[in-house]
Amino acid sequence: MKSVVRSILWAIAAFITEVAAQCDVNLNTIQLKEVNADIAQQRTYTICPGTQLNIGTLDPNDNNSLTGGFFFQARPNLHIQCGPDGLSANNCTVVGGTLQVDGTDWLGNTDPPFNFKLSGFTFREVERYNFWGNMPGSITFYDCIFRDNTKAIAPVLLDYSDSDSLQELAVAFIKCQFVFNVHFGEPANGALIVGNGIQNRLTLQNSIFADNDMLFNNTQPLRTSFLVETSGPIAAHNNCFQRNAVGVAPIASYVSDVVVSKNFGDNSTGFVCPFLAAFENSQQFEFYSPTCYSYDETNMCRADETRSPTISPTDHPSESPSASPTTAGPSMFPSEFPSLNPTITPRPTGTQPPTDYPSEAPSTSPSLPPSSSSKLQMTILALATIGLFVWML
């Protein structure tokens, strides 16, 4: 019997040691590994479970010099996951900083990030953007959580535009959560996810939006208050919207390429449209009379269901809305009719980073990259297992 127990303990110790050796505890080490990487080949890196990544701040007055920990850089064929299975339950947290995931060409990366994927990370308390992209590419966030962002310009900004190109920036959020985020006020955008232009394709699938407040500090809630605001194609399937405070609608779209199905809402309706406000032509925009979509799933949240075909940011949805949209009539408007000069055009209009920061700075500055505490804990656990084995001899 003892020999069986010893074999099991040795196997556990070996597994823990192997996991500790194969995972990273900060993004600086991944950055160094990527210096000479072949971007034509897929690379996968694993962040150790339980790691907190403290992202540094960028100084726009000093050539965007970085103080503190490095950020995620979206690169071609790069996958980064939390733990060996890439799940949020492994508790990898990305905290603070100016920009947490960089998909732009502003900070030294000029390779369009096609086939870039992040799995299992929790992004929180950013100063400006959890993700910002202004290059074409295909990006997937899988089982990621975006929470407690109260000072962000926009947690997610899709900002690609090139009139000479037919390419697009396609970003998919699969089994993600947006929870406990609060609108900061000026100069913040009025949505958690902003698609700034027709060449930005957005997919929301099996994701949850809950307990977000987009009315707080919003001086134009009947014009600029949403969870998602996009001028590009959007597909939304099997998502849940619960207990969100929004002004116009949870989702606003400024194109006709809208495909939605099986979306559930509970205490998350807008004053103009219950679920999605689609501004499909200039007349609708001028008179602020969008085509309104209602939630078409009324019984239950289906975010945990698996949807076919397999997911990809470039997949085009095969389903059409299960319910016919209706056009918002005058009775749906507030008592005070909005002006005919709307201010909800996608923001920012330029591709350069906004020069103004939130007036209130975070209470603490991001710290330097964490020490090897995660690896140390796993090593100690392995040694403890071996010690138990020795004790049983």
| Structure-block tokens of residue 284 | 């609708």
Of residues 345 and 257, more confidence is placed in 257
Q: What is the mean pLDDT of residues 11-38?
A: 74
Please tell me the predicted confidence (pLDDT) of residue 340.
Answer: 24
| Among the ranges given (161-165, 182-186, 331-335), the one the predictor scored with the smallest mean pLDDT | 331-335
Q: Does residue 115 surpass a pLDDT of 90?
A: yes
Please tell me the predicted confidence (pLDDT) of residue 38.
Answer: 96
Residue 3 — very low, low, confident or very high, per pLDDT cuts 50/70/90? Answer: low
Q: Does residue 343 surpass a pLDDT of 80?
A: no
Please tell me the predicted confidence (pLDDT) of residue 154.
Answer: 95
Q: Does residue 168 surpass a pLDDT of 80?
A: yes
Q: From CA 137, how far away is CA 168, in angstroms rounded? A: 7
Q: Does residue 332 surpass a pLDDT of 50?
A: no
Please tell me the predicted confidence (pLDDT) of residue 313.
Answer: 43
Q: From CA 56, how far away is CA 162, in angstroms rounded? A: 30
Q: From CA 236, how far away is CA 276, in angstroms rounded? A: 10
Q: Does residue 44 surpass a pLDDT of 80?
A: yes
Q: What is the mean pLDDT of residues 361-367?
A: 32
Please tell me the predicted confidence (pLDDT) of residue 160.
Answer: 97
Gap between the terminal Cα atoms of the chain: 12
Residue 320 — very low, low, confident or very high, per pLDDT cuts 50/70/90? Answer: very low
| Structure-block tokens of residue 247 | 């002004």
Torsions phi, psi for 73 (to 5 deg): -115, 120
Of residues 20 and 205, more confidence is placed in 205
- Three-class DSSP category at 316: coil
Q: From CA 258, how far away is CA 321, in angstroms rounded? A: 9
Please tell me the predicted confidence (pLDDT) of residue 13.
Answer: 43
Q: Does residue 291 surpass a pLDDT of 70?
A: yes
**pLDDT, tens digit (0-9, with 9 covering 90-100), for 201-248:** 999 999 999 999 999 999 998 889 999 999 999 999 999 999 999 999
Q: What is the mean pLDDT of residues 337-366?
A: 32
Q: Is the dihedral of CA 292, 296, 300, 304 positive or negative?
A: negative
Single-letter amino acid, residue 222:
L
| Structure-block tokens of residue 102 | 């960089």
- Three-class DSSP category at 388: helix
| Structure-block tokens of residue 69 | 């920990």
Q: Does residue 264 surpass a pLDDT of 60?
A: yes
Please tell me the predicted confidence (pLDDT) of residue 133.
Answer: 98
Contact 352, 52 (CB under 8 A): no
| Among the ranges given (100-114, 154-168, 240-254, 375-389), the one the predictor scored with the smallest mean pLDDT | 375-389
Q: What letter would DSSP give residue 373?
A: H
Q: What is the mean pLDDT of residues 89-108?
A: 96
Please tell me the predicted confidence (pLDDT) of residue 390.
Answer: 41
Please state, for a pLDDT cut of 90, what percent of the chain lies above it: 62
- Three-class DSSP category at 223: coil
**pLDDT, tens digit (0-9, with 9 covering 90-100), for 125-167:** 999 999 999 999 999 999 999 999 999 999 999 999 999 999 9
Q: From CA 212, how far away is CA 196, in angstroms rounded? A: 21
Q: What is the mean pLDDT of residues 277-297?
A: 91
Q: Does residue 285 surpass a pLDDT of 50?
A: yes
Please tell me the predicted confidence (pLDDT) of residue 21.
Answer: 56
Q: Does residue 369 surpass a pLDDT of 80?
A: no
Q: What is the mean pLDDT of residues 177-205?
A: 96
Q: From CA 208, how far away is CA 179, in angstroms rounded? A: 8
The model's pTM is: 0.77
Q: From CA 206, how far away is CA 175, in angstroms rounded? A: 5
Q: From CA 147, how far away is CA 344, in angstroms rounded? A: 24
Q: What is the mean pLDDT of residues 22-40?
A: 93
